Amino acid sequence: MKKISIVISLLMALTLASCGGFKAKRVTSDESDELAMEITDKWVARDTEISVSKILKQIEKHKGFQRYLAKLGKQPKVFISEVQNITSNPYFPIGDFNDELLTEFSMSGDYVLIDAAARDRLLKEIQYQNDGMVDPSQIKSIGKQAGADLLIFGAVRMSPKQRGGKTIKEYSVNIRMTDIERGVEVLRTRVKVNKFSDQSSSGW
């Protein structure tokens, strides 16, 4: 009986010790980025924020695109297709990247957004309404949607280089804008993010 009590006491002590070492606190995006680089060389949320911000700045400064907007003479309607993940990492957070891109385009106030996913959902709803499930007086008509002036698409690529436990991952985010009516490219941007890590033979 005494041995059982000792074993139980040891188990409880180990449990308390493991719980007692945990600590959490809120940090800023920059602090989170610095902490993340201590444990991973993978793409993190801050990389997405920085890349999208740089893309928007490049678009603002693009002389050819600014001439296009002046000639267009109106707020452009933009259809944002999904930016594709062409890295070797199937878990690259491409969904978060696309959401951030849509959000920043929307917040700029310079564009009328036509979201690919939203358009698909709208078409399904309109089809549902026209299948006899909705009061005819409340059915929305097909063909009332806005036509986009520009199509935005792109890809994220990554090229890793390794030697002696050292790794550098070179990410490249490429975005293009094409005039849909003419099929002419009006803008191309590229943002690069390099992630360096050094892993010794005994661990990190």
Does residue 130 lie within any of the structural domains?
Answer: yes
Tally the C-alpha atoms within 13 A of residue 8's C-alpha that lie toward its C-beta.
Answer: 5
Does residue 63 lie within any of the structural domains?
Answer: yes
The one-letter code for the residue type at 81 is S
Give the residue numbers spanning the domain of 128: 40-198
Does residue 19 lie within any of the structural domains?
Answer: no
Each residue's pLDDT, cut to its tens digit, for the chain (204 residues) gives 555 666 566 666 666 555 556 677 776 767 676 666 667 878 999 999 999 999 999 999 999 999 999 999 999 999 888 899 999 999 999 999 999 999 999 999 999 887 666 666 666 666 665 666 656 665 555 555 557 889 999 999 999 898 888 889 999 999 999 998 888 999 999 999 998 888 765 554
Q: What is the pTM of this model?
A: 0.72
CATH code of 94's domain? 3.40.50
Does residue 18 lie within any of the structural domains?
Answer: no
